[in-house]
């Protein structure tokens, strides 16, 4: 790391599918990624849910079953961020695009799932938000309002507004260090955060990824390699 971050400084960390790859969860756009097997237009848009809800529910049931049956574990990349949150005197916030629960399993607390969470569902009829580890079907009655056809995965589909955007931009305004880990920089507004922090003020920006993302040239510093190796090494230097 080629700059000194004030130890009381605020660190905002954006994570993507790449940080969970070594825990056995597919990424989206890598060779054999999720979007090489299914079209996002068919499973991750509100239009798809209107058109063929069973197809959409099936897509998320399969990913939810992978989380609840295979119980993937956090890898050294996740664990290093947990150590950073515990030992860094200043504020540490994880803004993740991931809908898995590996940051929680690693015992991070300050986490925003800007694209939602796979182990939660909500009802379009009564807006209840529930923890959910089972399969979900169009005729599953809502445990609160008992209506059917309203329950959907608590995830942000393309064309929908990401979650907690105000809190995220407030943190980006306050950031002294912005780290981006395991994301290809294809999906907005997350892919625009590196430009946003530089408009807000003096913030050091670092990309930690297997290979250069679409936004690589926007970062002051770039470190390439598997998250399980480069993230612990970077955190060691930060806490040194």
Nearest approach, Cβ of residue 6 and ligand BV8 (Å)? 27
Burial class (CB in 10 A: 0-12, 13-18, 19+), 62: exposed
By CB under 6 A, is residue 64 in contact with ligand BV8? Answer: no
Select the residue interacting with ligand BV8 from 67, 156, 216, 220 (CB under 6 A): 156
Nearest approach, Cβ of residue 89 and ligand BV8 (Å)? 27
Which of 138, 186 has the CB closer to ligand BV8?
A: 186
CB 207 within 8 A of CB 180: yes
Which of 3, 165 has the CB closer to ligand BV8?
A: 165
Which of 9, 205 has the CB closer to ligand BV8?
A: 205
Containing H/E element for 204? strand 204-209
By CB under 6 A, is residue 79 in contact with ligand BV8? Answer: no
Residues 6+ apart with CB under 8 A from 168: 95, 112, 114, 162, 193
Select the residue interacting with ligand BV8 from 27, 108, 205, 218 (CB under 6 A): 27
d(CA 52, CA 170): 37
Q: What is the DSSP secondary structure assignment for residue 141, as one 8-state letter?
A: P
d(CA 168, CA 112): 8
Note the residues at the interface with ligand BV8 (CB under 6 A).
Answer: 16-18, 21-22, 27-30, 33, 44, 97-99, 115, 155-162, 165, 182-184, 186-189, 209-211, 213, 226-227
């Amino acid at each position: 790391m080629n700059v000194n971050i004030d130890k009381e400084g605020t660190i905002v960390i954006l994570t993507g599918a790449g940080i969970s790859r070594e825990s056995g969860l597919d990424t989206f756009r890598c060779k054999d990624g999720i979007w090489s097997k299914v079209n996002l237009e068919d499973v991750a848009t509100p239009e798809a849910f209107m058109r063929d809800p069973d197809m959409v529910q099936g897509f998320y049931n399969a990913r939810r079953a992978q989380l609840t049956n295979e119980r993937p574990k956090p890898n050294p990349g996740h664990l290093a961020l947990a150590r950073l949150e515990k030992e860094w005197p200043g504020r540490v916030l994880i803004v993740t695009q991931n809908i898995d629960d590996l940051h929680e399993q690693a015992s991070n607390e300050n986490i925003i799932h800007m694209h939602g969470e796979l182990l939660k569902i909500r009802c379009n009829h009564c807006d209840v938000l529930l923890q959910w580890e089972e399969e979900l079907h169009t005729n599953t009655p809502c445990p609160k309002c008992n209506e059917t056809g309203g329950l959907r995965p608590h995830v942000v589909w393309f064309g929908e507004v990401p979650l907690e955007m105000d809190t995220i931009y407030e943190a980006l305004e306050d950031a002294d260090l912005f780290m981006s880990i395991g994301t290809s920089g294809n999906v907005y507004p997350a892919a625009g955060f590196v430009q946003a922090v530089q408009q807000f003020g003096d913030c050091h920006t670092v990309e930690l990824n297997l290979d250069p993302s679409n936004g690589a040239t926007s970062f002051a510093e770039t470190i390439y390699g598997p998250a399980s190796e480069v993230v612990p090494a970077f955190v060691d230097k930060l806490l040194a």
